[in-house]
Amino acid sequence: MILLYYKIMKAIIQRVMNANVSVNGEVVSSIGQGACILIGICNNDNSKDMEYMARKILSIKLFDDENEKKWKKSIVDKDFEILCVSQFTLYNTWKGNKPDFHHAMPSQESKEFYDKFIELLRNSYKPDKVKDGVFGAYMQVALQNDGPVTLEIESPLQIEKGNKKTKPLKSAEVEDNADR
C-alpha cells in the first residue's frame, strides 16, 4: 500500500490587544484589538485551501460576548482587525539541526497565492480591517497578546486516488501516518 502524506495550508492565530509589523525600523502595518495571524503556504495549496482558511479565520469564535461568556464572538462579530504575516518557516522539516523549508511554496508562486488570500480576506470582511506585512521582507512583528490565546488551524486534507476523493483525514490521523 502506498501512503501519500500531504502538507496543508496553516495559520497560527494569536488573539491580540494590538500588533504591528516593522521593516527597516519603520512600522508598515498596525492594528488595534483583533488577531495577528501567521500564514503558512505549502507547495500543494490551492484555491479551496485559501477559501477554507479565509472563511475559518473570519468565523472562529475567539472573543467573549457582551455578557463575558467565553468563545462566543468572532473577529467579524466584534468588528476587530486582522494583521496577517506570511510565514514560510511554518513548513520546516529538520535535516539534523538545520531547518529545511522544501514543503513551503516557492517564493514567487507563494507571493501570488498570499496576495490573493489577503484580497479574499479583505473582500470577505472590511478591506480597512485587514492589514499585512511586506511579503519576503525581513520583518519585526510586535504584539500584545490577549489572554494569551494562540490557536492553529489547517485546511482540510484532500487526497485524490484515481477518480475518487477520500474524506479528509483528521489531524491525529495525518500525524500518525506521517511517520510511516
In angstroms, the CA 62 to CA 13 distance is 10
In angstroms, the CA 29 to CA 84 distance is 10
Q: Which position among 63, 80, 88, 113 bears the catalytic label?
A: 88
**150 is known as an active-site residue:** no
Q: Which position among 14, 80, 87, 117 bears the catalytic label?
A: 87
**What grid cell was written down for 34?**
483583533
**88 is known as an active-site residue:** yes
Q: Which position among 89, 93, 144, 166 bears the catalytic label?
A: 89
Find, among 151, 133, 148, the residue nearest to 83 by Cα.
Answer: 133
**117 is known as an active-site residue:** no
Query: Any idea which residues carry the catalytic annotation?
Result: 87-89
